[in-house]
């Protein structure tokens, strides 16, 4: 226990704790978009598709935060829009095209990372390593989170109409295409900024579970955003305090904790839970 308290005094521990809070909150906040749009599987494929972009960025520009970010956004766009293009021009449907493109991209990224001699790093990209987040990474996470909260709060009313009823939104003059691209870009930014924390595999859990938990508890869309943020941050901080004494991998612990919170809500939600009192 004394070990743990001594560890908490170290800058690296404090930075990790901040990272848990910030990454957890921004992912949880944005997860409402993913849950309300019912696009969690697409986000899952895109988060894996970021890997080759990151690998190529490292190949050409070295390990730099900005180039990694740009590489990831480009890879996400190529897979996301490419699958749409393939499904529109060929016989395969969108899900099929997306499945093939994202596994191909993922495999390619893996090969490149191994060829670059980054074997040890591969685990970090797949499952995350919060301890490796530096001050610059933390600032980027802050900035992305602030951008997400600010843009969603300012555009909340048209955004909700867009999420609920895209055709009515378009008929009201809401620029639905711009919203689609904006949401896509925002999600990729948040994904990339949290990639170091939980990795390409696990990031899907952080980007879906918080709002999905709130959806078990409330019928108010706004609570899914803010409640999702709080659950994401709270769950991640709880995981931080669990992982050290238990000796568990922090990124994986975050996902396990959020998964457990979701299951608790599914079972015990007073309004919609499986075990609620039926009057």
Partner 1 sequence: MVDEHEHICWGGGHHHHGGHTLSAHQLCARYGDVTALSSISFSASCGHTLALIGPNGAGKSTLLNLLAGLIQPSSGTILWNDAPLYNARQEIAYMPQRTEVDWRFPITVRELVEMGRYPATGIWKSLRRHDHEIVDRALASLELQDLQKRQIGALSGGQQQRAFLARALAQEAHILLLDEPFTGLDVPGTESLARLLRALAEEGRLVIASHHDLSTASRIFDLSMLLNRSAIAFGATADVLTEENLFTAFGKRHITISV
The reply to whether 160 sits near partner 1 by the rule CB under 8 A is yes
CB 221 within 8 A of CB 214: no
Please report how close the Cβ of residue 177 comes to partner 1 at its closest, in angstroms. 11
Q: At what angle do helices 11-36 and 250-268 cross, to 10 degrees?
A: 40
Which member of 4, 164, 181, 268 binds partner 1 (CB under 8 A)?
164
Picking from 265, 273, 241, the residue whose alpha carbon sits closest to that of residue 254 is 241
Q: Which is nearer to partner 1, 172 or 264 (CB)?
A: 172
Picking from 6, 25, 248, the residue whose alpha carbon sits closest to that of residue 148 is 25
The reply to whether 157 sits near partner 1 by the rule CB under 8 A is yes
Please report how close the Cβ of residue 161 comes to partner 1 at its closest, in angstroms. 5
Please say whether the dihedral angle defined by the alpha carbons of residues 102, 55, 30 and 14, taken in this order, is positive or negative.
positive
Which member of 19, 101, 105, 163 binds partner 1 (CB under 8 A)?
163
The interface region with partner 1, picked from 57-65, 125-133, 160-168, 257-265 by CB under 8 A, is: 160-168
The reply to whether 168 sits near partner 1 by the rule CB under 8 A is yes
The reply to whether 78 sits near partner 1 by the rule CB under 8 A is no
Q: 248: Cβ–Cβ under 8 A, 6 or more apart, which residues? A: 242, 256
Residues 30-69, one symbol each (x = binds partner 1 by CB under 8 A, - = not), give ------x-x-------------------------------
Give the three-state DSSP class for 83: helix
32 half-sphere exposure, CB direction, 13 A CA radius: 29
Which member of 70, 170, 230, 263 binds partner 1 (CB under 8 A)?
170
The reply to whether 158 sits near partner 1 by the rule CB under 8 A is yes
The interface region with partner 1, picked from 65-73, 113-121, 152-160, 249-257 by CB under 8 A, is: 152-160
Secondary element (H or E) of residue 47:
helix 40-61
Residues 222 and 25: their CA atoms lie apart, in Å, by 15
CB 192 within 8 A of CB 69: yes
Q: Which is nearer to partner 1, 111 or 154 (CB)?
A: 154
Binding site for partner 1 (CB under 8 A): 36, 38, 154-155, 157-158, 160-161, 163-165, 167-168, 170-174, 215, 218-221, 224
């Amino acid at each position: 226990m004394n070990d743990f308290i001594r560890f908490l005094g170290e800058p690296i521990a404090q930075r990790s704790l901040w990272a848990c809070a910030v990454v957890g909150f921004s992912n949880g906040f944005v997860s409402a978009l993913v849950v309300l749009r019912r696009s969690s599987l697409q986000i899952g494929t895109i988060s894996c598709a970021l890997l080759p972009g990151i690998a190529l960025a490292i190949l050409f520009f070295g390990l730099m935060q900005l180039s990694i970010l740009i590489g990831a956004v480009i890879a996400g766009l190529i897979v996301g829009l490419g699958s749409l293009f393939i499904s529109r021009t060929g016989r395969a449907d969108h899900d099929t095209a997306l499945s093939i493109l994202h596994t191909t991209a993922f495999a390619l990224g893996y090969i490149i990372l191994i060829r670059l001699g980054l074997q040890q790093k591969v685990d970090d990209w797949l499952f995350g390593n919060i301890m490796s987040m530096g001050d610059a990474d933390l600032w980027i996470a802050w900035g992305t989170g602030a951008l997400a909260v600010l843009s969603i709060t300012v555009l909340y009313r048209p955004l909700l109409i867009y999420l609920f009823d895209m055709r009515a939104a378009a008929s009201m003059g809401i620029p639905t295409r711009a919203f689609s691209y904006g949401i896509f870009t925002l999600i990729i930014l948040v994904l990339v900024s949290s990639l170091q924390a939980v990795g390409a595999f696990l990031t899907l859990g952080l980007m879906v579970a918080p709002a999905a938990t709130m959806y078990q508890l409330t019928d108010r869309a706004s609570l899914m955003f803010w409640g999702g943020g709080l659950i994401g941050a709270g769950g991640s901080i709880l995981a931080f305090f669990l992982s050290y004494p238990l000796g568990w991998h922090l990124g994986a612990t975050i996902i396990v904790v959020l998964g457990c919170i979701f299951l608790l809500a599914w079972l015990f939600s007073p309004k919609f839970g499986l075990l609620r009192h039926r009057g």
